[in-house]
Amino acid sequence: MLSTYKESIDKALDAYLASLPNYPIYDPIRYIVSLGGKRFRSSLTLMISELFCGNPLLAINEAMAIELFHNFTLIHDDIMDEASLRRGHETVHKKWSNNEAILSGDLLYAVVNKLLATSEVTSSEIQTLFHQTAIEVCEGQAMDMDFENRSDVSVDEYLLMIKLKTAVLVACALKIGALIGGSKDIDADQLYEFGINLGVAFQIHDDILDVYPNHSSFGKKVGGDIIEEKKTILYISLLNNASKSEMDLLNKLYSSKAKNSEVIISEVKKMYEKYDVLSVANKEKDKYHLAALSNIENLSIDQSNKNRLISFAQDLMTRNF
């Protein structure tokens, strides 16, 4: 349902990137944006702007800023995670170098800031929200990095981490759309909360899909997060429950030189089932999903628009990709 907005954003991004200088340090910027993506966050900005003022494109600069900021974080996150692939293509630091990835990321962030500052519909409130969001995204990434070295992460800490790392940018995208569309303050704030709740639910859903894919996820590799020992809500719940001997087994599996992926996935899944971590995850997901739906109910918009947002939230929670 967001495909029209995605088209608008891709078109605007193409034109904007073409207007930037041709120095080689802009190449990684054009590259990462060209790898595509669902433009999910920025589409929300356009959709909400349209909902309140009838004109999605009034918020096109802010939508681009959100999308480009997201791409900046991907460039730097991929360095930190030592990731080789992004959307099936080489990551920036692999295709160029760590230094060029650091610097082109910094440059992209500077470009975002200028885009936002020169937008005709910008306001001090929009700018402050955007920059506070950027701060929180960095704080969330710091928590995520910290989790890598810890086995005592609580579910509450995890929820705070994904709120900061993922949900605040979704919330920011929605609220900026509302502010530009001229919504009441109370609606803009409800949409922000909707974004937080939806973003958290979405990330938990993502954690679950990695291990328990929907019937139509044919061909997708199952258990990638398990192999990388990612601190998902499932794995954290397991670590919170595992016995001493199970912890020893996990350590042995992950530290073994000849790491056997199939064995690791199968052993971890056995423990997931023993402690029913899927229920823990689903309970949290449903809690945030319900909270998101109640945020929509609280909006002072007509029912057909509420239904649109409800069906959007529903789509997101049953997605298979």
Residue corresponding to tokens 């995520």? 144
Contact characters 112-141, its own copies, x per CB under 8 A: -xx--xx---x-x--xx-xxx-xx-xxx-x
Part in contact with its own copies (CB under 8 A); list of ranges 48-56, 93-101, 236-244, 262-270 = 93-101
Provide the minimum distance between the beta carbon of 112 and its own copies in the complex, in angstroms, as a whole number.
9
Residue whose CB is less far from its own copies, 103 or 317: 103
Contact characters 53-92, its own copies, x per CB under 8 A: -----------------------x--xx------------
Start-to-end CA span in the chain (Å): 15
The CA dihedral of 120, 123, 126, 132, to the nearest 10 degrees, is 120
Query: How many angstroms separate the CA atoms of 306 and 117, rounded?
Result: 32
Asked if residue 23 binds its own copies (CB under 8 A), the reply is: yes
Provide the minimum distance between the beta carbon of 17 and its own copies in the complex, in angstroms, as a whole number.
14
Query: How many angstroms separate the CA atoms of 297 and 212, rounded?
Result: 31
Asked if residue 24 binds its own copies (CB under 8 A), the reply is: yes
Part in contact with its own copies (CB under 8 A); list of ranges 20-28, 50-58, 177-185, 213-221 = 20-28
Crossing angle of helices 185-211 and 233-241, rounded to 10°? 70
Residue whose CB is less far from its own copies, 170 or 296: 170
Residue numbers at the binding site for its own copies (CB under 8 A):
21, 23-25, 76, 79-80, 98-100, 102-107, 109-111, 113-114, 117-118, 122, 124, 127-128, 130-132, 134-135, 137-139, 141-142, 145-146
